[in-house]
Structure 1
Amino acid sequence: MKKVFISLALVILLTMLTITIPSISVATDGIITNGAQFKDTSGNAIHAHGGGMINYEGYYYWYGEYRDSSNYFLGVRCYRTKDLVNWEYRGEVLSPNSASELAKCNVERPKVMYNESTKEFVMWMHWENGVHYGEARAAVAYCKTPDGKYTYQGSFRPYANSGVIDHDLPGYMSRDCSVFVDTDGKGYFISSSNENMDLHLYELTYDYKNIASLKAKLYVGKQREAPCLIKRNGYYYLITSGCTGWSPNQAKYAYSKNLANGWSELYNLGDSTTYKSQPTFIMPVQGSKATTYLYMGDRWAGAWGGKVNDSQYIWLPLEFKTDTSLELPYYSTLKINASEGIVTEPISDTTKYKIVNKNSGKVLDARDGARASQLVQWTDNGSLSQKWYLVDVGNGYKKIVSASSGYVLDVQDNSSADGGAIIQWYSNGGNNQQWQFIDAGDGYYKVKNRSSTKILDVYKWSTVDGGTIQQWSDVSGSNQHWKFVPVSDTQTPTPTPVKTPSPTPTSHTVDKGDVDGDGTVNSIDFGHMRWYLLGIINQFPTGDPNVGYWAADIDGNGIVDSLDFGRLRLVLLGIR
């Protein structure tokens, strides 16, 4: 009986340990795992929460918070690496022994920048007295080496001696913060002020150790914090979070060509919780082939009642679709090639597939590479938009990734209804982007969505180019059966029979609304459109059905629907 009790006690103890020990990620082959704590080269958890990073003489240096079980300051820890994966612990560059003011306090979001003129490394951070959260001060320390012992200069509120009063104390409040060095060598400090209602951007003195001027007040009254400031192609970008305590929220970005003014409105970045993270820094990873901007986020343990030292990390590539359009896709794992400057999702199976519909013989095509565009079927022509990767996400599900756009198959708006549109969207980890392949015989599969449990389906059994892809309940139709055929980049496309007795010349002009192709837009076209939408006909009465379909797609979004029907009505009434 004694042995039984001991065994039971061991089981209980091991169960408790399993619950309370945070997930720790060991990097292998340049791959890191998100939503975990990273380990250093000695196998210990990396504590660099709320941190920042610099690149100096071939090394990346990562600085961040290290706290005790009461969340008090234990140090600013420093790690270094050449590959952004294998991190060597370099020690605590700032500790409670560095100054009496640091003996029992809170230090948050330490950020370091290198001053090329003075050859010094300067750290800015947020300081509180450890008793309450009302001091809201900036603090500064500096050192001659990136990983040496920093000299603590002290804490203060910006403009404390100017007569400014912010919530009953002299000077502007300064909480969540970051730093930025512009291409002209000027240094800047940005922090949340006015009880986090405003962001203040300060230009620093030549040595980066003091405030020179208040450059701009940004997004006044918008309650933004966790600021990250970068520059690319002549544009400045500001990434911030909302103010919801430890709980994650929607990150937003803005851009401008001038630090002081001209900032855009705020745009959403990532999903509604920024993948359960809060931004802390954006690090340019400049290599021989590319420069990738690495989003560094904290998944704060406070959100589930844990301590800061239990918090986890989220690193993702920030993608610039244009100079004014940013996206933040989510990947559970990340492959980093720092020497080349490439940060991507690791794809273990690099085979490309064409996805062939059994009913039509046509292939799945992301013809319009734009985000949110609905997918269609098309005659196999060997184009990259017709090639797809299959990425395993576990539990028998896969993501289907476009080889041309990098977007994934997605049920729009997480719809659970029959007819929900299948679009391409950036990877966000959602169940509406995960698919199960169910054997349908003869080498074909039904492709079932994890979220809706609906099946990938060609709209109304269409056999024409441009037939739209949707989800539908499983009716075992051949328009719901798909074959995954491995292809190479040099493979000759498989011809698909198409009813085109008189191919449309490339110079032919399609008149919007002329769905029967007789050269006029009239009530007969209106009737054909109505029959098509009611399912009475499945193609338009033109020599080439594609011409009729294009004519019916009046708003040009790739889908013929009731909106196009309404627009045709307005055309016939002379309103448009």
Structure 2
Amino acid sequence: MLLALCLAVAGALAGAGPAQAAPQAVVSGTQFTDVSGAPVRAHGGGVLKVGAYYYWFGEHRNADNTFRYVDAYRSTDLKNWEFRNHVLTQSGAAELASAGIERPKVMYNAATGKFVMWMHKENGTDYGEARAAVAVSDTVDGNYIWRGSFRPLGQHMSRDITVFTDTDGTGYMVSAARENYDLHIYRLTADYTGIASLVANPWPGGHREAPALFKRNGVYFMLTSGATGWSPNQQQYATATSPAGPWTAMANVGDSTAYGSQTAYVLPVQGTSGTSYLYLGDRWGNSFGGTVNDSRHVWLPLSFPSATTLSMSWYPETVVDTAAGTVTGRGGPYETLAARHSGKCADVPGQSQLAGAALKQYTCNGGGNQRFWFQDAGGGYVRLMARHSSFCLTEQAAGVTQEPCSTATAQQWSVTASGGYVLLRSRATGECLDVSGGSAADSAALITHACNGGTNQQWTRAA
């Protein structure tokens, strides 16, 4: 009897899934880390839900931007990511040894029980190969077996790529063709490993890339980027009632740079309250002097003013509740800080996205590098998060810099009213935010100094 009870308990525990995920706030425009503290390398990727877990696949490159791995991570709450495996590696096939692999996307084929990865493959030299490629695995985060690369239907170029599984089980692949001037929608074979037919080329000459295809209440949405290399640009979308079309013309969404990002994927988040849609974008490191591995993630809620229209707004944080299926933005407003003595604004020079950039004062211009969110840090303190970088003002011995936001006291400031102005006092040292030497010149350094009530320590906050 005791043995039977123990076996029953053990069986129940073995079958138990992860605990229900709590709502999580994701800071947009930052580099994510996994639960071990290592950077998440999942750029240009996509997400597949299997059971209670979301699996995130993406590019992990070498320091010189060449292909190294496709990495896989998993999470129940879309914030706390566990590294699972280098699911595709340079050693996976002879063709991969010098390949360029971009935008891996994984789909599950219920008929075969296989997980199928599609990706864009180049020869690693001249970006002229423009091929689609396929790999297959028996498990979602196992080693994917290379099936080879090809041009769809033996003739079409294939670059930026995405996949989509329709509600009837039909698989689709979308890729940028003809030097990115066309965007082809293909129907896949029954096992999802090949191309059955080209079903649509809706925007010939449109010069679009980075496609993301999803379906909401019977309407298909295609979200895309312009083709401007690593630099962000105006995202656009179109709709249809069938992947084969007819599709509408492209319409703008978000701001002129998609908030400094490029589409990677749109993830439906389904829960007890319904389904919400999460935009996953890459802020490519190459656009601000780094490499792909320096890239950051811009995750934002998508909203739908009508059945066939789409909008996207910026929020410093996106709150994801995977149990409820809700995705909401929060944070702000952003404010400028103008020094009383000079009338000039606290500024991150050159709109730098790099950690360690030293703050200066500069003529006020309303740029994102002069606007800060006074985020509640608890205990009567705030963090000052820069709009353009999502980094926080940090007290250093030599001055004030922007750094990744943390719980450090050097990033916590008290705000005290003083004759119509405010004093910003560092929690770490008790010193005040100060324009060095009381200079009124552009590019004068921001430092901390013993609080003395000087006008170069008095600041005007303005939304």
**Residues 1:148 and 2:132 are matched in the alignment:** no
**Equivalent AA in structure 1 for residue 104 of structure 2:** P
**Equivalent AA in structure 1 for residue 310 of structure 2:** L
Of residues 218, 222, 234 in structure 2, which corresponds to 1:234? 218
**1:204 alignment partner in structure 2:** 188
Of residues 323, 326, 340 in structure 1, which corresponds to 2:324? 340
**Residues 1:89 and 2:73 are matched in the alignment:** no
**1:308 alignment partner in structure 2:** 292
Of residues 297, 301, 314 in structure 1, which corresponds to 2:281? 297
Of residues 14, 26, 32 in structure 2, which corresponds to 1:32? 26
**2:11 alignment partner in structure 1:** none
**Equivalent AA in structure 2 for residue 198 of structure 1:** D
Alignment of 1:282-293 (within 5 A): 282-293=266-277
Alignment of 1:309-388 (within 5 A): 309-346=293-330
Of residues 50, 69, 72 in structure 2, which corresponds to 1:75? 69
Task: Return the offset for 1:325.
Answer: 1.4
Task: Return the offset for 1:432.
Answer: 12
Q: What is the SS of the residue equivalent to 2:121?
A: strand
Highest relative contact order (Cα 8 Å, sep 6+), 1 or 2? 2
Of residues 217, 238, 246 in structure 2, which corresponds to 1:262? 246
**Equivalent AA in structure 2 for residue 31 of structure 1:** A
Following the alignment from structure 2 to structure 1, what is the Cα–Cα distance between the partners of residues 184 and 249?
A: 17
Q: How many residue pairs are counted as aligned between the two chains?
A: 327
* CA offset digits 1:497-519 (Å, max 9, x no partner): xxxxxxxxxxxxxxxxxxxxxxx
Task: Return the offset for 1:218.
Answer: 2.1
Q: What is the SS of the residue equivalent to 1:91?
A: strand
Q: What is the SS of the residue equivalent to 1:159?
A: helix
Q: Which runs of 4+ in 1 moved over 6 A?
A: 429-436
**Residues 1:42 and 2:26 are matched in the alignment:** no
Over 3 Å counting, the alpha-carbon distance change for 1:394 and 1:88 in structure 2 is farther
Instruction: Looking at secondary structure, tell me which structure has more strand per residue.
Output: 2
**2:166 alignment partner in structure 1:** 182
**Equivalent AA in structure 2 for residue 209 of structure 1:** T
Of residues 129, 149, 159 in structure 1, which corresponds to 2:153? 159
Q: What is the SS of the residue equivalent to 1:221?
A: coil
Task: Return the offset for 1:261.
Answer: 2.0
Task: Return the offset for 1:300.
Answer: 0.5
**1:377 alignment partner in structure 2:** none
Q: Tell me the TM-score normalized by structure 1.
A: 0.55
Give RMSD over aligned pairs: 2.3
Following the alignment from structure 1 to structure 2, what is the Cα–Cα distance between the partners of residues 306 and 83?
A: 29
Alignment of 1:247-258 (within 5 A): 247-258=231-242
* CA offset digits 1:341-397 (Å, max 9, x no partner): 1111246xxxxxxxxxxxxxxxxxxxxxxxxxxxxxxxxxxxxxxxxxxx4546579
**2:102 alignment partner in structure 1:** 108
Following the alignment from structure 1 to structure 2, what is the Cα–Cα distance between the partners of residues 434 and 333?
A: 14
**Residues 1:281 and 2:265 are matched in the alignment:** yes
Q: Tell me the TM-score normalized by structure 2.
A: 0.68
**Residues 1:119 and 2:113 are matched in the alignment:** yes
Of residues 130, 135, 146 in structure 1, which corresponds to 2:124? 130
* CA offset digits 1:442-481 (Å, max 9, x no partner): xxxxxxxx9xxxxxxxxxxxxxxxxxxxxxxxxxxxxxxx
* CA offset digits 1:401-455 (Å, max 9, x no partner): xxxxxxxxxxxxxxxxxxxxxxxxxxxx97999999xxxxxxxxxxxxx9xxxxx
Larger radius of gyration: 1
**Equivalent AA in structure 1 for residue 201 of structure 2:** K
**Equivalent AA in structure 2 for residue 329 of structure 1:** S
Following the alignment from structure 1 to structure 2, what is the Cα–Cα distance between the partners of residues 432 and 320?
A: 31
Q: What is the SS of the residue equivalent to 2:48?
A: strand
Following the alignment from structure 1 to structure 2, what is the Cα–Cα distance between the partners of residues 117 and 307?
A: 39
Following the alignment from structure 2 to structure 1, what is the Cα–Cα distance between the partners of residues 369 and 252?
A: 20
In the alignment, structure 1 segments of 5+ residues that lack a partner are 1-27, 161-170, 348-390, 398-428, 437-449, 451-576
**1:243 alignment partner in structure 2:** 227
Q: What is the SS of the residue equivalent to 1:45?
A: coil
**Equivalent AA in structure 1 for residue 177 of structure 2:** S
Over 3 Å counting, the alpha-carbon distance change for 1:289 and 1:29 in structure 2 is closer
**1:54 alignment partner in structure 2:** 48
Following the alignment from structure 1 to structure 2, what is the Cα–Cα distance between the partners of residues 393 and 120?
A: 47
Over 3 Å counting, the alpha-carbon distance change for 1:306 and 1:152 in structure 2 is same
**Equivalent AA in structure 2 for residue 108 of structure 1:** E
**Residues 1:272 and 2:272 are matched in the alignment:** no
Q: What is the SS of the residue equivalent to 2:201?
A: strand
Q: What is the SS of the residue equivalent to 1:218?
A: coil
**2:175 alignment partner in structure 1:** 191
Q: What is the SS of the residue equivalent to 2:304?
A: strand
**Equivalent AA in structure 2 for residue 282 of structure 1:** V
* CA offset digits 1:117-141 (Å, max 9, x no partner): 1111000000001111000000000
Q: What is the SS of the residue equivalent to 1:173?
A: coil
**Equivalent AA in structure 2 for residue 81 of structure 1:** S
Task: Return the offset for 1:276.
Answer: 0.7
**Equivalent AA in structure 2 for residue 217 of structure 1:** N
For the Cα contact (< 8 Å) 2:119–2:161, is it kept in 1?
yes
Task: Return the offset for 1:336.
Answer: 1.2
Following the alignment from structure 2 to structure 1, what is the Cα–Cα distance between the partners of residues 54 and 122?
A: 28
